[in-house]
Amino acid sequence: MGNNTIIFTGTTFGILAIILGAFGAHALKKVLSTEKLASFEVGVRYQMYNALFLLLLGFNTNTTISNIKWAFYLVTTGTILFSFSIYLLALAEPLKKNFRFLGPVTPLGGLLMILGWGSLLATLL
């Protein structure tokens, strides 16, 4: 894993966040309740925060440092679990699917993101 992998992942998360944010603001506004749309927007926001985190990480760090690798893996996995479980939970009703099993996945993703940011902090200590 090198800087280009981190930058690629951050860029991909950023592009998807913009696409999903626009989709939520325009197409989903008509089919989701205010509460579900707000949840969807939280997923988009955290995905973008972590996209920027990964870009900064990729452009400014030495990826041979163990904590940097951990930060990348934890934030990437956490973002996927957190944001994408929120997207599916918000879209469950219009898709006529039962995604309730994803309820516990969201906080696990949040925990992984926290640990990823903590791994970056640990490089400073």
Cβ(118)–Cβ(78) below 8 Å: no
The pLDDT mean for the chain works out to: 94
Nearest Cα to Cα of residue 75 among 39, 114, 43? 114
Residue with tokens 């469950």, as numbered in its chain: 92
Which residues lie closer than 8 Å to 14 by C-beta, 6 or more apart?
48, 51, 52, 55
Give the model confidence (pLDDT) of 64-123 as tens digits. Answer: 788 899 999 999 999 999 999 999 999 999 999 999 999 999 999 999 999 999 999 998
Residue 104: the pLDDT is 95
58: confidence class by pLDDT, cuts 50, 70, 90: very high
Cβ(82)–Cβ(28) below 8 Å: no
Q: How far is CA 107 from the centre of its chain?
A: 12
How much is the pTM?
A: 0.92
- Mean pLDDT over residues 43-64, rounded? 93
